[in-house]
Structure 1
Amino acid sequence: MTPRTLLLAPDKFKGSLTAAEVVAALTRGISATAPETPILACPIADGGDGTVDAALAAGAAPRPAVITGPTGHERETTWALDGITAVLELADAVGLKALPGGTLAPQTASTHGLGELIARAVDAGARQIVVGLGGSASTDAGAGLLQALGARLLTAAGAPIRPGLAGLRELAEVDLGPARALLDGITLVAANDVQNPLLGPEGTAAVYGPQKGLGPKDVREADAVLAAAAELLDPGAVHRDAPGAGAAGGAGFALLVLGATQRSGADVVLELADFDTRLQGAAVVLTGEGRLDAQTLHGKGPAEVARRAVAAGAEVLAVAGAIDLDTAQLHEAGISRAWDLLSRAADVPDAIARGEELLDLVGREIGRSLSGVAPETPGP
């Protein structure tokens, strides 16, 4: 029997392994028990961590850069360039993972460094700039990003506002003209899978502020500050209520104000990775992420991979650190079988620490399944 070609298309296992590392570990395991199985690789992301890695894995060129990190320190990051398309990632540039020592800075963290990357992409000749949003450290409505692109965000005294939410409190005058001029002729894409508006109970401060260090009182105050800023940045109230305006502490709002188009992060990354072309050569697709749960089913990367794979007539398998979906939910998503790491570990920290080892073991089980070999019987 001719072996079926397998396409590996997992997202990252957040806090443990990148998508590329997941692919490598699974490949080692599957190749050990099903060496005849042809394996294709397509690491994915949904606009957050791993977006640039996915573009690089698809052949884009890495562009290292030193920028302003979320709290004003120098930060080394990388963006990707493929022809005239640039791919940038907020998470690595100015996100939570970029905070020195992981210390939260809810009042002062800024998106300035992301704006610096956008300007560099323009200087490099990019005509389409894809900005992956997710994992942000700030709630500044993208004010830092706008300033880095030349926008004038001033206090009542005519001075530039300070970084972060604290600085946004001082905003009295806005001139977006220089930023819009810089981006004239540029197609700007905000890539994320968040549908939150900027303001209100479903807005960026209420939903995402706590994970950045905002307490209940801080959240209420932040929402009021964002509302006042929106009056100046979006006087026609065109963008503040748009789905996705609340992405990344309001960076989605800033991009929309600059004329960006919002698209599903999963869709954008799958396009960049040329997933559909790779899918044509596969009979089985293996996807996954750190946790398969209800959020997965609402447009996240693995769900979109499964949807496309099923439409192409491929069987879909999945692997995750933990699985919170029952068999019926998995089947409804198009996933015929799933493996987890947590049941093979002592606890969550153990599963995270031994992620590569456990993925290798799961890969061996998947290889036996693909080869039609019965699983090994556990020892006493």
Structure 2
Amino acid sequence: MKIVIASDSFKGSLNSLEVAKAIESGIKKVYPRADIIKFPIADGGEGTVQAFISSIGGELVTTNVTGPLGTKVTATYGILTDKKTAVIEMAAAAGITLVPQDQLNPLITTTYGVGELIRHALDRGCTEFIIGLGGSATNDGGAGLAQALGYKLLDADDQEIAFGGGSLQNLRRIDATNVDHRIFKANFIVASDVTNPLYGPNGATYIYGPQKGATPKMLNELDNGLKNFAKIIYRDLKKDIHNLPAAGAAGGLGGGLFAFVNATLKRGIDIIIEKANLKKYLHDADYVITGEGKIDSQTINGKVPVGVAKIAKEYNVPVIALAGYVDDKSFLTHEAGIDAIFSIINYPITVEQAMEPTTAKMFLTKNAEEIFRLIKLITDKHEDE
């Protein structure tokens, strides 16, 4: 029996490789000789680097960069086995987990460190970049990243604007004279699972700003800043990000990467499926196991389980999904190719307890075992007949 485990992380609990190993342990209790292929996947957010390294191979690189509050942080990115492809999670340098809760403030947080990671990878000889946009603490539209790459973002007095989304209203001119021109010889792909525009009611600020510390008073200022940012970019760089889908991802970094490094924006699940050639592993599989922390009506909008299911269905492979939380709209994913969905929670427990890594691993292993006990029971019965 050949089984492919292609799951997203259970965010805040287990990364995608840990999920796959836990599921494998359960299956092996029933089918000890099964051919199990673990294929960790991420959608651009937490775990993207680890998923690529685990699925494709490569090395982790660690360096010090400017964090979201302007102080130094230690950040890690990946370089794949081809030695030319860098995989960067913007959250490693500008993530919300790097900012204490009482210091969250998108008026001042910056993406400068993300630009420094790009420069570091360029110094290592990388010419291909995959950048995941989940988990940001910023709302600066990628202004900090641009500054780190040599763009000068100037105010009315021809002075460099300060870090943070609060300074974007002061931007009057972009000077590209001293840009690191290696970026124009490189290829950038941005991995994101959101399609929000840069600004407006459904844009970066109003949808995601509050979770980054934006008060109601800040929202209008930040949104106007992004609108001004887009206007100056259009005039000086001839790049239109006003209505670009996914420009609002990661506080506008999606739009900034499009404008400053000519990035292509794609769904994260599509990138890893293509880059790691998932089809090669699925075409002759007996079962595919996928999952994520929560399966609900939003799962059909480009999330990992449905992305995996669509590929599996090209080869008529049954797809089973596991999740910590399964809501009453999860049935919508059946139409998208997921054949059966199971919550791994076996008894009443708090969310905090369920997300504790040891507990989550135990639940995944136990439920995978029981699912394959049932499969074995049915399979053995048919063989006897």
The normalised TM-score by structure 1 is 0.92
Distance 1:292 1:155 in 2: 46
- Deviation (angstroms), 1:68: 1.2
Distance 2:57 2:337 in 1: 29
**1:329-377 deviation digits (Å, cap 9, x = unpaired):** 2321211112113353423222112211211211221231332279xxx
Matched residue, 2:382: none
Q: Which runs of 5+ in 2 are unaligned?
A: 380-385
Distance 2:199 2:278 in 1: 35
Secondary structure of the 1:126 match is coil
Question: Contact 1:9–1:41 at 8 Å: present in 2 too?
Answer: yes
Question: Contact 1:23–1:41 at 8 Å: present in 2 too?
Answer: yes
Q: Which runs of 5+ in 1 are unaligned?
A: 375-380
Matched residue, 1:8: 5
1:71 aligns with one of 53, 69, 74:
69
- Is 1:274 the counterpart of 2:284 in the alignment? no
Secondary structure of the 1:49 match is coil
Question: Contact 2:45–2:135 at 8 Å: present in 1 too?
Answer: yes
Distance 2:93 2:19 in 1: 22
Question: Mapping of 1:1-380 within 5 angstroms?
Answer: 4-57=1-54, 58-82=56-80, 83=82, 84-100=84-100, 103-179=103-179, 181-235=181-235, 236=238, 238-258=240-260, 259-326=262-329, 328-353=331-356, 354-372=359-377
Matched residue, 1:377: none
- Deviation (angstroms), 1:165: 1.4
Q: Which amino acid aligns with 2:49?
A: V
- Deviation (angstroms), 1:281: 4.0
Distance 1:41 1:284, change over 3 A: same
Question: Contact 2:346–2:363 at 8 Å: present in 1 too?
Answer: no
Distance 1:132 1:45 in 2: 9
User: Is 292-301 or 365-374 further displaced after alignment?
Assistant: 365-374
Q: Percent identity?
A: 38
Distance 1:91 1:370, change over 3 A: farther
- Deviation (angstroms), 1:248: 0.6
Distance 2:350 2:370 in 1: 21
- Deviation (angstroms), 1:214: 1.1
Question: Contact 1:341–1:351 at 8 Å: present in 2 too?
Answer: no
The normalised TM-score by structure 2 is 0.91
User: Is 243-252 or 163-172 further displaced after alignment?
Assistant: 163-172
Distance 1:280 1:177, change over 3 A: farther
Distance 1:222 1:326, change over 3 A: closer
Distance 2:115 2:195 in 1: 22
Question: Contact 1:190–1:260 at 8 Å: present in 2 too?
Answer: yes
Distance 2:115 2:376 in 1: 50
User: Is 204-213 or 69-78 further displaced after alignment?
Assistant: 69-78
Distance 2:214 2:18 in 1: 33
- Matched length: 371
Q: Which amino acid aligns with 2:257?
A: L
Distance 1:257 1:327, change over 3 A: closer
- Deviation (angstroms), 1:311: 1.1
Distance 1:38 1:345 in 2: 34
* Structure of higher RCO (CA pairs closer than 8 Å, 6+ residues apart): 1
Q: Which amino acid aligns with 1:81?
A: I
